[in-house]
Structure 1
Amino acid sequence: MIGTLGRKIIFEVSDNRVLTFESMSREVSGRWTEHEVLGVKPKAEFLGPGLQTISLTIHLSAALGVKPRRILDMVERMVERGSAEYLVIGGRLVGRRPFRVTGSSEAWDKVYSRGELAKATLTISLEEYA
């Protein structure tokens, strides 16, 4: 097992199934403010950490034992219900808190004659839930 997003999405490579992400980007930031002072440069003040964001691109293929439509529907429900899930990669938490699933984008790459989705590309947007 490569990792999980909550209990529903399991990234794995096995004899029966391949569900992995192609790329993951993570942004970690701090929150700052500036106070204007007459006659001198502004003074910077650190307010605290910002919310981390993550973007995952996942390729879904029926040829690799994954049902693309099922995964897309599952992610859609996560977005619309405001799910907050822990992201675990390599047995370690990414960040210290769960991430809310703020959005998804999908491309239907291959659809068979009866409307069966055989291949899709999914991008999931996550934001730290504090």
Structure 2
Amino acid sequence: MPIASFGKKVFSVSLNRVYTFNGYTRTSALSVEEQEVAGSKPSSYIKGSALDDLGITIELKKMKGIDVRKEINEWMAIKDSKTPENFILGGSRVGANKYLLVSVGESDVLIDNQGRVLSAKIDLKFKEFVRLGKKEEKPKTSKDDKSKNKRKNSNSKKSKDKGKKTSDKKKSSNKKSGSSSKRSSSAASNKKVEALEKEIFGK
């Protein structure tokens, strides 16, 4: 009976082949948001269950029935296929859902003088898979909205220009009015001086 399996990959021990793993880990958690409360500890808003994480470590050694490089490449291909599978342990499925292989870490690689991989350790990380999600798209601005914004900006600019012209006209008008009043005042002063001279000198 196999020790465990993930899709087509089977972990087992026999006279012809030793293929097993160690460092089995599994994490299950709740998704909780802390909401601040003035003068007290935060409230806990429980969103729901988070996705479970699962991990195993496989120590590969070149021996009968085991090609180290081939095994690494096969696990990489499983990751790249993005296909969720059941993780079976001791004849029973782990958890209520399938798992997706999301990471393959390669370390402790021993290579001979001909470039052959004699041994290696690979860390596999799995994420629980419930259903396929969708990419969230930002709302697009329609052509009508763009045209409205363009017209709005254009009208705003025209309004500013019109206001500026009106202000300039007022300033010009005020300057002319001031100049005219100064001339009127000067003429009146001259007339007073002439009248005064006539009274004094009798001319």
1:6 alignment counterpart: 7
Cα distance in 2 between the residues matched to 1:94 and 1:12: 17
Q: Which has the higher contact order (CA 8 A, sep 6+)?
A: 1
Using the aligned pairs only, state the percent identity: 26
Cα distance in 1 between the residues matched to 2:64 and 2:47: 47
1:101 alignment counterpart: 101
AA partner of residue 4 (structure 1)? S
Alpha-carbon deviations, 1:9-40, whole Å to 9, x = none? 11000011011102111111011123334454
Cα distance in 2 between the residues matched to 1:122 and 1:38: 49
Q: CA deviation at 1:109?
A: 2.9
Cα distance in 2 between the residues matched to 1:60 and 1:88: 20
2:50 alignment counterpart: 50
Cα distance in 2 between the residues matched to 1:64 and 1:21: 17
Match of 1:26, SS state, is strand
Q: Does 1:21 align with 2:21?
A: yes
TM-score calculated relative to the size of structure 2: 0.59
Cα distance in 1 between the residues matched to 2:22 and 2:42: 43
1:35 alignment counterpart: 35
1:129 alignment counterpart: 129
Unaligned runs of 5+ in 1: none
Cα distance in 1 between the residues matched to 2:96 and 2:41: 36
Cα distance in 1 between the residues matched to 2:129 and 2:64: 32
- Higher strand residue share: 1
TM-score calculated relative to the size of structure 1: 0.89
1:112 alignment counterpart: 112
AA partner of residue 50 (structure 1)? A
Q: Against the structure 1 CA distance between its residues 64 and 29, is the aligned structure 2 distance closer, same or farther, given a 3 Å change threshold? A: farther
Give the number of equivalent residue pairs: 129
2:62 alignment counterpart: 62
Partners of 1:12 and 1:20 within 8 A in 2? yes
TM-align CA RMSD: 1.6
| Larger Rg, first or second structure (1 or 2) | 2
Match of 1:85, SS state, is coil
